[in-house]
Structure 1
């Protein structure tokens, strides 16, 4: 498992993912080579999955976000696979989640405006395979979103 030094390193990395290893090492009171080795081990173990840019899609002209909850027709043996494969091909789908329970999947979809969303809905969403039920939920506000873990 993680020791205190690993936790400190991850905590500082979460707070500033662009910080150079030398700065992270200084904050964690360790040598840069030690910090680099620890980060490599955390990556090799799959704990640190990488770093990525987080783009604010609203700044790129997308003003609408809709969550779509799907229940699939499970009489088809490959319903989940075929649905997911088709949904992945829609560029405006930014997340696909599966669930246990009445709802099988949820898609998060972004659109420039309601006209764009309506076009996506009619021409791409409704053509996804094996839909038994569909419930769109219009996002009004995001209260909290974070990828920072309590380490």
Structure 2
């Protein structure tokens, strides 16, 4: 279980993952060695999975974001595996989520513009295996994007 010091370290680290261990330790009110050991324990137990760069894909010229809700043919034994493997090969697919219910999967897809999206949709998405139904939801605005956890 996490104690108050672990939670304090996680809150500070989550707010600024580029912070040095020494600075993190100072802000958390622990020694640098104790902070390093706690971070290592949090990593080894899987609480901290990694640190990643967040790249603004709009700055790279992608202006269209679409959510695709996909229903697969459940009579095909490997439909999920085949579809997921093929969808991973489409570079513009940023995320694949699976669901229980009427919708089986959701793809998050980006495109440079509408003609690029239409080309991707026709040439890459509609050719993915085992699709029974697909619904496109055009992203209009991000209302909230909370990247931090309430620790």
Q: Give 2:84's aligned residue.
A: 84
The CA distance in 2 between the partners of 1:110 and 1:116, in whole Å, is 9
Q: How does 1:21-100 map to 2 (within 5 A)?
A: 21-100=21-100
Unmatched segments (≥5 aa) in structure 2: none
Q: Does 1:135 align with 2:135?
A: yes
Name the SS for the 1:71 alignment partner. Answer: strand
How many residues are treated as equivalent by the alignment? 151
Name the SS for the 1:150 alignment partner. Answer: coil
Structure 1 residue 147: Cα displacement? 2.2
The CA distance in 1 between the partners of 2:104 and 2:147, in whole Å, is 24
Q: TM-score, length-normalised on structure 2?
A: 0.99
Q: How does 1:96-107 map to 2 (within 5 A)?
A: 96-107=96-107
Q: How does 1:4-15 map to 2 (within 5 A)?
A: 4-15=4-15
The CA distance in 1 between the partners of 2:101 and 2:13, in whole Å, is 36
The CA distance in 1 between the partners of 2:8 and 2:50, in whole Å, is 17
Unmatched segments (≥5 aa) in structure 1: none
The CA distance in 2 between the partners of 1:143 and 1:56, in whole Å, is 17
Q: Structure 1 segments of 4 or more deviating over 4 A? A: none
Q: Give 1:17's aligned residue.
A: 17
Structure 1 residue 145: Cα displacement? 1.0
Q: TM-score, length-normalised on structure 1?
A: 0.99
Structure 1 residue 146: Cα displacement? 2.1
| Deviation readout 1:23-75 (Å, 9 max, x if unpaired) | 11001100001000000000000000010000010011000000000010000
